[in-house]
Amino acid sequence: MCGPIGLGFAGRRPEHVRRVVLGSTWAWPTSTDTPRGKFSLIVGGPVGEFAQVNFNAFAALGIENGIVRELPADVADVYVRPFRPVDRRGIAAFYPGQITAATDYFEEVEAGLPRLADRKALLFWALKDVGFPDSDTARFEAAFPDHRTIELPDADHFFFEDAAEVMIPAIRAFIASSPIASATAPGGRDR
């Protein structure tokens, strides 16, 4: 939910935002009929809470299934370690439910997007993450007319772990210059 949190701030305080970098996220209410909404209902509901609190399931399975490449054990451990103590697992059981429950907040985030429409945007889109369909990409492309979208065909939910070699130079070029330098993921395309 980092994207909606950052965009919530940006929409409230657009004077503090010069450019926008987004990756596989959203900024509007989510229907329970979509894959993201179904995830919210299951993982954010009683079954998900039980699995997370008792087995650290959300953190462990998220890392196992949300990254295409094989992570070194010490790197994977950094992701799940914060949730090892049972008393620290509650937040991972709580926030997935907010994807569908926090409708008022997501309406506010969506309403703030026009305040950012004149900003240049760099969009990264992980094509293996079913939670963020092409329709989400299209909405951001419409919200940010001066954008560049880089598709990441071999990346999943934690796309920055799968595509850092494409993302880092693209972000550096985006920050450093007015025109956005070309850097496309292997097998991907700029849109």
| Residue 34 token pair | 């979509």
Q: Is the pLDDT of residue 177 over 90?
A: no
Give the strands of the sheet with 147-152, arranged side by side.
19-23, 120-126, 147-152
Concatenated DSSP letters for 74-142? HHHHHHHGGG-SGGG-HHHHHHHHHHHH-HHHHHHHHHHGGGGTTSEEEEEEETT-TTS-HHHHHHHHH
Q: Are 96 and 48 in contact (CB under 8 A)?
A: yes
Mean pLDDT along residues 7-33: 97
Smallest CA-to-CA distance from 102 within 162, 16, 26 is with 26
Q: Is 168 helix (H, G, I), strand (E, B) or coil?
A: helix
Q: Are 48 and 93 in contact (CB under 8 A)?
A: yes
Q: Is the pLDDT of residue 180 over 50?
A: no
pLDDT band with cut points at 50, 70 and 90 for residue 189: low
What integer pLDDT is reported at residue 92 of this predicted model? 83
User: Where is 63: in which H helix or E strand?
Assistant: helix 57-66
Please state at what angle helix 57-66 crosses helix 73-80, rounded to 10 degrees. Answer: 140
What's the whole-number average pLDDT of the chain?
A: 91
Q: Are 59 and 81 in contact (CB under 8 A)?
A: no
| C-alpha to C-alpha distances, 101 to 25, 38, 52, 65, 75, nearest whole angstrom | 17, 12, 19, 24, 32
Domain ranges of the chain: 2-29+107-176, 35-101
Distance of CA 21 to the CA centre of its chain: 11
What integer pLDDT is reported at residue 184 of this predicted model? 52
Q: Are 152 and 163 in contact (CB under 8 A)?
A: yes
For 2-29+107-176, which CATH superfamily applies? Alpha/Beta hydrolase fold, catalytic domain (3.40.50.1820)
pLDDT band with cut points at 50, 70 and 90 for residue 190: low
